[in-house]
Structure 1
Amino acid sequence: MKAKVYLTGAGPGDPALLTLKAKRAIKNADVILYDRLANDRFLEYASPEAEKIYVGKKAKDHHYTQSEIETLMVEKVQAGKTVCRLKGGDPFIYGRGGEEALKLKEAGIDFEIIPGISSSLAVPLYAGIPLTQRHLASSFAVITGHEAADKDESTIEIEKIAAAVDTLIVLMGVGKLPQTVARVLEAGKSPDTPVALVRWGSRSNQQTITGTLADIVEKVEAADFKPPAVIIIGQVVNLREKLGWFENKKLLGKNILVTRPRGQAASFVEMIEAEAGNAVLAPTIKIKSAQNREPLQKAVKNLAAYTHLIFTSVNGVKYFMQALESQRLDLRALAGIKIMTIGSKTAAELKQNGIRADFIPDDYSTAGILEYLKKFEGENKINFNQSSFLLPRADIAPQLLEEELKKLGAEVNNVEAYRTESVKLEAEILELLLNEELDLLTFTSSSTVENFISGLEKLIENKNLELEAAEKISNQQIWQQLKEIPTACIGPVTAEKAEEYGLNLKITAAEYTIEGLFAAILKYYF
């Protein structure tokens, strides 16, 4: 495929507002040039081999000049790379996308434009402010605040625009708010006209400040309200009192650490973001196939030797089915075997493969599983002395279930179906900890706890990190800060491990699933 540039709109920041086409462009890119206003979460969709270059700009702080960004795009494509130029909002609404497209055209570079949801449209709605409302506002205009400082210098006739429309939206205008307000008042707008500024709109850290043309400048200065923010001027601002919805969500402003394996974190992250929380991805483990696959392959070849099959995780199901496929076997090989799954997600994964579990205990602990099985023994539905159990599990799975089944008289093959490997923690996690910006730690297994602690130890030892806060705090103080952060665990085994390390355990899910953990988190905060 011929190398080209995708001028891509990333939307206002809510990950769910990224378009499908933009996501595809990120996924397929060799190089991603991303702006300050493009949510970093979108880089999760990129290929691991993709080159990611931050080219963000804010007032008086440019990593790259506009000319340098344009040159960089041309150079990368000429080197045979496909480039995703990721820009906040829509690339052609005050995003300088037109300039970049013209530069590419001049250089003979192929390009494609992917529109994004503009912050001028989305951010007011996330603050509960419609741009138009029947009988209240039937027109609106969008302008840039960068050119509002001086009437003699500005190319925007704010006075005429403000007089002609019911709602005025100003982008990039916080720094020049006094001048903008003065010119809107000159247009004849009443000093009582409502005004709202929405900062980091559609993200977990969204903030809104409201006032009127008469007092908004004073309020913004008193609150030290910083960019980036969208300014909305007009009577529609008053509807916020009734229509505000996003800032009422339960996890707004909460930075929640997610330590799940990257490939399995999506559903949990979506739950957090659906309640306006910010999921801080810090995978501490990754799932890989067993180093020695022969034991599982051998067990699959000899399935007729087993009376019972217990799956304790979704991964156990996945790797078992892969082994079944590799032996050119299908579901007929499971005929006559009673199957138990631990947890609804594991049962759902099994069902997707065409198998319905015979047993699903309510209590996912080892004690609960054994009590569940003993009940069938009492009903003469199972004889442990004549039973053989196959347990496809992780390399680090606790041996207690295997040991207890053997004590009951059963034969047990606890075979390694997959393994876990630790993942290096990013320095960003330590930076968030040092700046006291983590509100909740979450763990879904004992191994995520252990690997998080060991990963953090390595970060703390490396004081060569370029973190200003690291020079002002001792290692002991860092650990103390960590132990003050509330911690949530998926079940009692994980909770016990968290307490071993002295973490501030506040939440233990009653149902040992991601849904149960999330429900417990919401209950804790409300």
Structure 2
Amino acid sequence: MKAKVYLTGAGPGDPALLTLKAKKAIKKADVILYDRLANDRFLEYAEAEAEKIYVGKKAKDHHFTQSEIEALMIKKAKAGKTVCRLKGGDPFIYGRGGEEALKLKAAGIEFEIIPGISSSLAVPLYAGIPLTQRHLASSFAVITGHEAADKEESTIEIEKISAAVDTLVILMGVGKLPQIVERVLAAGKSPETPAALVRWGSHSKQQTLTGKLINISDRVEAADFKPPAVIIIGEVVKLRQDLKWFENKSLFGKNILVTRPRAQAASFVEMIETEAGRAVLAPTIEIKAAQNRQPLQKAVRNLGEYTHLIFTSVNGVKHFREALDQKGLDFRALAGIKVITIGAKTAEELRKQGIKADFMPADYSTAGILNYLKQLQGEGKINLSQASFLLPRADIAPQLLEEELKALGAEVNNVEAYRTEAVALEPEVLELIKNSDLDLLTFSSSSTVENFISGLDH
């Protein structure tokens, strides 16, 4: 297979700002070289066997030099690998993507450029600062702070640029802010010109500091405001007071622990991130097939023996479907069987298979199912002594439902459809807990609670 490198922009950090094309490149890659500004959540789109290498750089702390990154990229590609070079923002806007592309060209390696949303555009927006505004600002410029600070050696004529545009956006300039402000003032800008710095823009930990040219450097020093941050200078900064929106979201700045299995956490994580929270993935259980699959397969072969089928989880539905598949069957095999579910997500998983549950208790509980069946029996609509229930459940599922159904006279086959295994808490998560950096802990089952507590003891 011919090697290829995708120079891929990952955007400023919000997972929702990753483009569809970038997502496809991550998924097809054999090797992913990712930097410090690309949200680690993007790696979830990679195949499990993909090699993931962190090559991040920050001031005075380089895991890899630029030349080492280029050499590694070429080495992997020449080994026949499809490489995704994942870069924060856009690869060609102060991302050194052009340099990397030229190296690939010289090495005879095919490459493709996938644009990303630049932090120079997205971060001011997430802070509620438009770069242009009718009657206020009709032009803007983006420069790098690395070169803009040194008047003697800089190739950037910041005085001319600042005088020519209404809004100035500066990337990678926090460490040289006093020198930058001095040059902007020398260009004729008023000391009262509004200025803002936005740190970790589009992330839940976004921070915005505002002031004026005359005092912004002092404010940054007093707040110990560290990079990475985008600097915005211009009258448009005044609009932030009315236009800020991201920081007003209900979960902004909240670190929320998600303990459900990784494969089932996507929708919940998306809900958290939609409200500007940070989802800390820490699955405490892993769902696996039953060690002995014969009981479930036998139950599937003999579905005609059952009058009712009760699903208490999404996993029960999925593993039951797999058992049907293994026998060359589908959910049409349930014709004539009443289906009961606990939980909206379980019912939704069934609907994906074209099956609408006959009943779902409003309180998502075993008691709700039992009360419903007792009511039907009282109305003469069911004779539980002649009913037969199949319960495809977890190996650790509570026995209450089975015991109560039997007490009502029904036959019950409580069959293990899947099992749960404990997953150890990662050191990063334990550190967040130790430092009291988590705002909310969420649990989807008793087993996630038990394994979480157990994990704290190790």
> TM-score per shorter chain, which class?
over 0.9
Once residues 9 and 329 of structure 1 are traced to their aligned partners in structure 2, the CA distance between those partners, rounded to angstroms, is 44
Letter of the aligned partner of 1:305 in structure 2? Answer: E
Report deviation, 1:182.
Answer: 0.9
Secondary structure of the corresponding residue to residue 208 of structure 2: strand
Secondary structure of the corresponding residue to residue 272 of structure 1: helix
Once residues 244 and 209 of structure 1 are traced to their aligned partners in structure 2, the CA distance between those partners, rounded to angstroms, is 13
- TM-score normalised per structure 1: 0.85
The alignment status of 1:137 with 2:149, answered yes or no, reads: no
Report deviation, 1:52.
Answer: 1.6
Q: Given that residues 129 and 240 in structure 2 are in contact (C-alpha distance below 8 angstroms), is that contact kept between their aligned partners in structure 1?
A: yes
Secondary structure of the corresponding residue to residue 382 of structure 1: coil
Once residues 456 and 71 of structure 2 are traced to their aligned partners in structure 1, the CA distance between those partners, rounded to angstroms, is 39
Q: Given that residues 321 and 331 in structure 2 are in contact (C-alpha distance below 8 angstroms), is that contact kept between their aligned partners in structure 1?
A: no
Deviations 1:190-247 (A, max 9, x none): 1111101000000000000101111111111111111010001111111111110001
Structure 1: stretches of 5+ with no match in the other structure:
459-526
Query: Is the deviation greater in 318-327 or in 160-169?
Result: 318-327
* Residue in 1 that maps onto 2:439: 439
* Residue in 2 that maps onto 1:448: 448
Letter of the aligned partner of 2:145 in structure 1? Answer: G
Once residues 287 and 123 of structure 1 are traced to their aligned partners in structure 2, the CA distance between those partners, rounded to angstroms, is 39
Any residues of structure 2 matched to 1:487-506 within 5 Å, and which? none
Deviations 1:91-133 (A, max 9, x none): 1100111111111111111111111000000000000011111
Classify 1:152/1:332 alpha carbon distance in 2 versus 1 (closer, same or farther; 3 Å). Answer: closer
* Residue in 2 that maps onto 1:418: 418
Q: Given that residues 296 and 416 in structure 1 are in contact (C-alpha distance below 8 angstroms), is that contact kept between their aligned partners in structure 2?
A: yes
* Residue in 2 that maps onto 1:329: 329
Q: Given that residues 363 and 369 in structure 1 are in contact (C-alpha distance below 8 angstroms), is that contact kept between their aligned partners in structure 2?
A: no
* Residue in 2 that maps onto 1:153: 153
* Residue in 1 that maps onto 2:88: 88
Letter of the aligned partner of 1:255 in structure 2? Answer: N
Once residues 447 and 245 of structure 1 are traced to their aligned partners in structure 2, the CA distance between those partners, rounded to angstroms, is 38
Secondary structure of the corresponding residue to residue 168 of structure 2: strand
Once residues 149 and 349 of structure 2 are traced to their aligned partners in structure 1, the CA distance between those partners, rounded to angstroms, is 60
Query: Is the deviation greater in 272-281 or in 293-302?
Result: 293-302
* Residue in 1 that maps onto 2:178: 178
* Aligned positions, number: 458
Deviations 1:18-47 (A, max 9, x none): 111111111222211111111111112222
Letter of the aligned partner of 1:198 in structure 2? Answer: V
* Residue in 2 that maps onto 1:398: 398
Secondary structure of the corresponding residue to residue 209 of structure 1: strand
Report deviation, 1:261.
Answer: 0.4
Q: Given that residues 31 and 81 in structure 2 are in contact (C-alpha distance below 8 angstroms), is that contact kept between their aligned partners in structure 1?
A: yes
Once residues 228 and 165 of structure 1 are traced to their aligned partners in structure 2, the CA distance between those partners, rounded to angstroms, is 24
* Residue in 1 that maps onto 2:55: 55
Deviations 1:137-156 (A, max 9, x none): 11110000001222111000
Once residues 197 and 115 of structure 1 are traced to their aligned partners in structure 2, the CA distance between those partners, rounded to angstroms, is 24
Query: Is the deviation greater in 127-136 or in 283-292?
Result: 283-292
Secondary structure of the corresponding residue to residue 53 of structure 2: strand
Query: Is the deviation greater in 308-317 or in 152-161?
Result: 308-317
Any residues of structure 2 matched to 1:266-285 within 5 Å, and which? 266-285=266-285
Letter of the aligned partner of 2:232 in structure 1? Answer: I
Once residues 329 and 171 of structure 2 are traced to their aligned partners in structure 1, the CA distance between those partners, rounded to angstroms, is 61
Secondary structure of the corresponding residue to residue 417 of structure 1: strand
Letter of the aligned partner of 2:366 in structure 1? Answer: T
* Residue in 2 that maps onto 1:120: 120
Classify 1:209/1:357 alpha carbon distance in 2 versus 1 (closer, same or farther; 3 Å). Answer: same
Q: Given that residues 262 and 283 in structure 2 are in contact (C-alpha distance below 8 angstroms), is that contact kept between their aligned partners in structure 1?
A: yes
Question: Which gives a bigger RCO, structure 1 or 2 (Cα 8 Å, sep 6+)?
Answer: 2
Structure 2: stretches of 5+ with no match in the other structure:
none
Once residues 213 and 416 of structure 2 are traced to their aligned partners in structure 1, the CA distance between those partners, rounded to angstroms, is 68
Letter of the aligned partner of 1:86 in structure 2? Answer: L
* Residue in 2 that maps onto 1:519: none
The alignment status of 1:427 with 2:430, answered yes or no, reads: no
Secondary structure of the corresponding residue to residue 367 of structure 1: helix
Once residues 26 and 414 of structure 2 are traced to their aligned partners in structure 1, the CA distance between those partners, rounded to angstroms, is 41
Provide the identity percentage.
Answer: 82
